[in-house]
Amino acid sequence: MESKLAKARVQELEGALANANEEIVNLRHKVSTLRTDLADSEKTQKDFVVLSQHLQVQLEKQRAQNEEVRWQDPEDVSHCASCETTFPAGNAGLRLKTNCKHCGKIFCPDCLSKQVPPQGQRSKPALVCDLCHTLLVNEAAPYFSRGSFSANKIKLPVSPSPASPSSTERLHNRLLDLVQPHRTAAPPEAAAPPAPPRPVRPPPYRPRGSAVSLPETAATAASPAAVSQTLRSSPVLTPTAAFTKREELSPSQ
């Protein structure tokens, strides 16, 4: 009988062990997936930060164009407006400098490779920069989708986006929940036991007809002279009156 119980117990433990191993494998797979998602999320957030800063730089440049002459003179420019490559001095640098026909900035030949087809009074294609080509040609790919910018070219300080701490923290908490599924919360502080109720004392028992002691009155506490004066002023009972008074009081005694 005991051997059968032992075998049943062993089989039960083996089944529980197999289930636990399977659960461990599943949890490890989930942890690996969540780590991959976390890495992808952090990379995407960094890309959004760089893109946001690049857009801010472009916006500041567009605002500055409204306060200055857009067509730049080649002799006044020493760097490419896109890649910031330094032009050589002399006539060799002047031959490399080319104005964008839309924004008027100076670019190097590599950054000024896009063309806009003839339109209106123009009979020849016009060379434009990548940004202006995106604005003028509807079929062109978005300018910021080609990844032609980097964090090194941005002068603004790189700061994490407001959403990155919360999303990273959520993924971290999910990892902890999967790795430690049986975490128990700290026990709450024990409350102080309630004070025991105060016992109510019953009034003292007094049988019916018992005399109740009363406090001393002014008559009992009076001086002997006052008592003598009271006795003198009280009426004197005759023997007959005293006998009658005694008969009246006898039934109540």
Secondary element (H or E) of residue 231:
helix 224-233
The domains located in the chain, with CATH, are 2-149+166-179 (3.30.40.10)
pLDDT tens readout for residues 53-62: 888 887 787 7
Segment 105-109 shows an average pLDDT of: 90
- Each residue's pLDDT tens digit, 69-97: 678 888 888 899 888 889 988 888 888 89
In this prediction, residue 195 has a pLDDT band, given cuts at 50, 70 and 90, of low
The residue type found at 151 is: A
pLDDT at residue number 217: 44
End-to-end Cα, the chain, rounded Å: 92
Query: Which pTM does this prediction carry?
Result: 0.36
- Residues whose CB falls within 8 Å of the CB of residue 237, separated by 6 or more in sequence, listed in order: 245
**Which of these, 139, 134, 78, 141, lies nearest to 103 by C-alpha position?**
134
The three-class DSSP label of residue 47 is: helix
Q: What interhelical angle do 2-65 and 163-179 show, nearest 10?
A: 170
| Widest pairwise Cα distance in the chain | 164
Percent of residues in the chain assigned helix, strand, coil, to nearest 5: 50, 5, 45
**Which range among 1-5, 31-35, 103-107 shows the weakest confidence by mean pLDDT?**
1-5
CA nearest neighbour of 131 among 150, 118, 145, 151: 145
List CB contacts of 110: < 8 A, sequence separation 6 or more: 83
Tell me, what's the pLDDT at 156? 44
Q: Cβ-count burial of 121 within 10 angstroms (0-12 exposed, 13-18 middle, 19+ buried)?
A: exposed
Among the listed ranges 102-106, 123-127, 187-191, which one has the minimum average pLDDT value?
187-191
Decide if 128 contacts 101 (C-beta within 8 A): yes
Q: How many residues appear in the chain?
A: 253
pLDDT of residue 188 exceeding 60, the answer is no
pLDDT of residue 76: 86
Question: Is pLDDT larger for residue 7 or for residue 239?
Answer: 7
SS3 41: helix
29 pLDDT band, cuts 50/70/90, is: very high
pLDDT of 221 above 50: no
Of 8-12, 29-33, 176-180, the range with the lowest mean pLDDT is: 176-180
**DSSP for 202-214, written as a single string:** PPPP--TT-----
Question: What Å distances lie between residue 8 and 2, 17, 94, 235, CA to CA?
Answer: 10, 14, 93, 113
Computed over every residue of the chain, the mean pLDDT equals: 70
Specify the 3-state DSSP secondary structure of 175: helix
Which tokens in the block code for residue 99?
């104005």
Q: Report the alpha-carbon distance of residue 210 to residue 127 in Å, rounded.
A: 127
Please determine, for residue 149, whether its predicted confidence score (pLDDT) is greater than 70. no
Distance CA 63, CA 105 (A): 14
pLDDT band with cut points at 50, 70 and 90 for residue 114: confident
